Amino acid sequence: MDISHFFSNVLLKIFFPFTFGFPTGRRTVFFRSLMGLPTPLSGDRKSVQVVPNIDNSSDDETNYNSWLKKHPCGLESFEGIMKGLKRKKIVVFLDYDGTLSPIVDDPDRAFMSSEMREAVREVAKCFPTAIISGRSRDKVKEFVKLSNVHYAGSHGMDITTAPTSDNEVDAVSFQPAKKFLPVIQQIREVLEEETRKIEGAMVEDNRFCVSVHFRHVHERDLDKLEKKVETVLERYPDFHITSGKKVMEIRPTINWNKGHAMEYYLHTLGHTNEDDVVPLYIGDDRTDEDAFKVIQMRGQGIAILVSSIPKNTRASYSLKDPSQVLAFLLRLVRWRKLSSSSITNPLP
């Protein structure tokens, strides 16, 4: 555990008892700020505001091109990214929604393409590969349908390693929020009942967290939905709300995130030599920033944000959408095969 994670844990233990009288929204903001994370709903609320129908495409393109200078395209920068890494141990980490599959209106239909599945399969043949998703582990595994990758669900709170033989099933490696499972299921049931009359609201069971989707909720009902979720959470002081793309997520207040999950995999899989190991993480969500932060603190690694618009990020590089992710993964496989060949059969 690095020093920042240690102090975050200490601060949580010190201040947690003093927050029981806080309203849920204030308590959520307090803990997110304490852990250096963005506060919920701030970005999402802006995304649903009604604005005049003005063509700002030129300004948007200018802003995006300016942002690309700070976070260059991973495809265009590929040779520079991989320079000097032929003899390094690269470990690949991937988000799912918005990275391997497009963001869709119906979360249950976020299917990855057969081309993407084959690309991930080939990547996993060349490098240790883990998918770290906010989805439940079983759900993301059902989408991906590959046996040669590691799966972590619930933002890294449900971690498994891939089987080492065809007859072996995934072994549960670590579930840091296991003690919260009964309460999480209770929260899900209450939220389903409380939100069922809000048209478009959808409650998703992601095992160690509960997601409340509002992509199809009318703007006039957003405040009502948020209030209902916060009112429910007032009964559960050990939980807080975080935000994603048109979704509120209810999670246990523990010092664990995708960055911790990445570090856990590196340690468990035996890739602890920071001089030789290079984590490569591709993701599109705010929750992926925790992994980008770990890479930044290591001083060695490749952090790639998937985004078609400028965003504040700790990632060094960017890819515009899942189609560019696919192209990057295919290029990564070709690079590994060529570099392995050149090492095995060096030129005279």
Instruction: Point out the residues that are catalytic.
Output: 95
Tell me the three state secondary structure of residue 201: coil
Q: Please name every residue paired with 32 in a beta bridge, in sequence order, or none if there are none.
A: none
- b vs e for 26-56, b when ≥16 Cβ sit within 10 Å of the residue's Cβ? ebbbbbbebbebbbbbeebeeeeeeeeeeee
Q: Which token pair is 15?
A: 């201040």
Question: Rounded to an integer, what is the distance from CA 165 to the centroid of its chain?
Answer: 28
Q: How many CB atoms lie within 10 A of CB 67?
A: 17
The total number of residues shown for the chain amounts to 348
| DSSP designation for 209 | S
Q: Which residue has the tokens 């090492």?
A: 343
Distances (CA, A) of 303 to 71, 84, 152, 171: 10, 17, 18, 28
Helices marked H in the chain? 3-15, 24-34, 42-47, 57-70, 78-82, 114-126, 137-144, 181-195, 222-233, 258-268, 289-298, 322-344
Is there a contact between 25 and 32 (Cβ–Cβ < 8 Å)? no
Q: Which token pair is 33?
A: 């700020």
